[in-house]
Structure 1
């Protein structure tokens, strides 16, 4: 999260906007690395609970997941023989709901990312060992071999392909959040924003995109007002009071806000998405392994098995992220170009 990549900036905003104080306290005590609790919440043989201990961020959903021998046979010998899949998550120090954070038991790492890592490990016939670290140490762990594969909202980029191999599993999207009663929706065309007032985080990828749209509208004689607020609470207050029409941020953060606001006096909704990679490329979030490790292919095949058999859809639905579904997990798909990665 210290680089200038869109993914890094997205993660920084998610962390800043949705982390709660109790999670920050429990996570920050762990230091730079920790072996998070790896409980999969199996209720019976082959059953895994998605969204366990989510503290209301997800709907707990039980799914059946079994090893697929034809896929586990693809594993590198070194991984197959040790019998574990070390899943790297970069959730320290504060976590990012709904992506990765310490659950309500104050010890188990939960969220979309560790949940998918556990599902993939089950298909591969391996025991998941979830290793939590800072964003920087996540990649150090992959580089050193201490982490087999990272599931941590990592964007597929051409720059990262120099060192890593990828298996895509979610769209990398931004989204607009509006009050549920609002009739406005973003249709993918920047001209749709004319006359609107939109809040955005400073120094983020979404700010860059929004300011580009503002400049285009200005050339056409139209106005887009961009507002900045100190934190998520201030942005939410501005939205509920009508000072802004919408806020623009990472789609997972919006999904989380919508879930948390559902029973408040001012419920919100997702009013439309836009690729974090821009208009010409659909950004993708991908499982990340060391280049040449031979893990991307079996991981992609495991994800595709989950897609084909319905567990993938249940995983996304549990976390209110069905709008980020991909039809197929791809090995090393086109990533953000070198001039924007």
Structure 2
């Protein structure tokens, strides 16, 4: 399957956080686009974009000053500049996947780090953001048809996708280990430290594939790594705080969300270390995705680099507890997940 790795990650996020997402509201997904536009327009006069505005604990509401950069607007394809808007695609239907994209506390506005970053990029380019929420599959249909200008939806840069799309990277694609705050264990990239541990993982996910490879290597060395599976995120979390497992290995954004939810509870958790979603040989990257040859990848990358240089990028990541996925620069079509592993 062409999009297997990233779509599995998205499904893992969606399934793993489904119960928690219900608490922030999943109703009225169909009206999310118009509501999110209104929230952006409210800030236009002050030259600011509000991120995590309706996050209900998944992020910290933050006002980020940003305004049009004329030289970057001038880089836009004529058709986009003339239209005056950036149509941003997000593939978060039906359930959403906090903290990346989900329906906010008003029960209608699409919020999350992904649509928020699309709004920031649109502001730098001097365009009105129009956020459209759809299913994962229809996100790509929208880009293919030209109805959507760019996808901001946790899309992994892969060589397979480069056959149809151009990319502008903006986050690392990371997995992470979640442990209780009292745990002294940390993962520093050395899988041998997992010897003797019991780790939970989602079945059929990219992280399971990596964990099982480590388990096989440890077994060959005469050491044991116990892998556990649970039916949902709640059961996994109960096993972690109850001491039945030592760690949970999952997508870094989903773990950031769970840690934020746990922060004020009697059983707080923490991030014990990250690992590239692309494996040991390549740092996976999440990228803004546009139709190949559209001419949008370069101006979007330049807008992202403006946000990085001027500090708005760091504020956006911090608002969503994703600072550990920062990139030093946005690249156009950087090396992606190889064709043999896409």
Residue 151 (structure 2) pairs with residue 150 (structure 1): yes
8 Å CA contact retained: 1:149, 1:288: yes
Question: What displacement does 1:245 show?
Answer: 0.1
Q: What is the match of residue 189 of structure 1?
A: 190
Question: Superposed, which structure 2 residues align to 1:1-341 within 5 Å?
Answer: 5-19=4-18, 20-21=21-22, 25-27=26-28, 30=30, 37-38=36-37, 39-40=39-40, 41-42=42-43, 44-341=45-342
| SS of equivalent to 2:254 | helix
* 1:49–1:60 CA contact under 8 A, matched in 2: yes
- Structure number with higher helix proportion: 2
What's the offset of the Cα at 1:47? Answer: 1.3
The Cα shift of 1:21 comes to: 2.5
Cα deviation, residue 6, structure 1:
1.7
Query: What are structure 2's unaligned runs of at least 5 residues?
Result: none
Output the CA distance in 2 between the equivalents of 1:327 and 1:194.
Answer: 33
SS of the residue corresponding to residue 303 of structure 1 reads helix
SS in 2 for 1:37: helix
Which TM-score applies when normalising by structure 2? Answer: 0.96
* Change beyond 3 A, Cα 1:266–1:23: closer
CA 1:119–1:288 in 2, change beyond 3 Å: closer, same or farther? Answer: same
1:257-306 CA distances to partner (integer Å, 9 max, x unpaired)?
Answer: 00000011110000000000000000000000000000000000000000
1:136/1:4 CA distance change after superposition, 3 Å: closer
Would the alpha carbon gap of residues 158 and 58 (structure 1) be closer, same or farther in structure 2, given more than 3 Å must change?
Answer: same
CA RMSD of aligned residues (A): 1.5
SS at match of 1:26: coil
Check 1:288–1:252 CA distance in 2 against 1; reply closer, same or farther (3 A cut). Answer: same
SS at match of 2:27: helix
Q: Is the 8 A contact 2:2 2:160 kept in 1?
A: no
Contact 2:26 2:102 in 1 (8 A): no
Q: Report the Cα offset of residue 35 of structure 1.
A: 5.2
Structure 1 position 240, deviation (Å):
0.7
The unaligned stretches of length 5 or more in structure 1 are: none
**Cα distance in 2, alignment partners of residues 78 and 127 from structure 1:** 14
Cα distance in structure 2, aligned partners of 1:53 and 1:25: 13
Deviation for aligned residue 1:5: 2.4
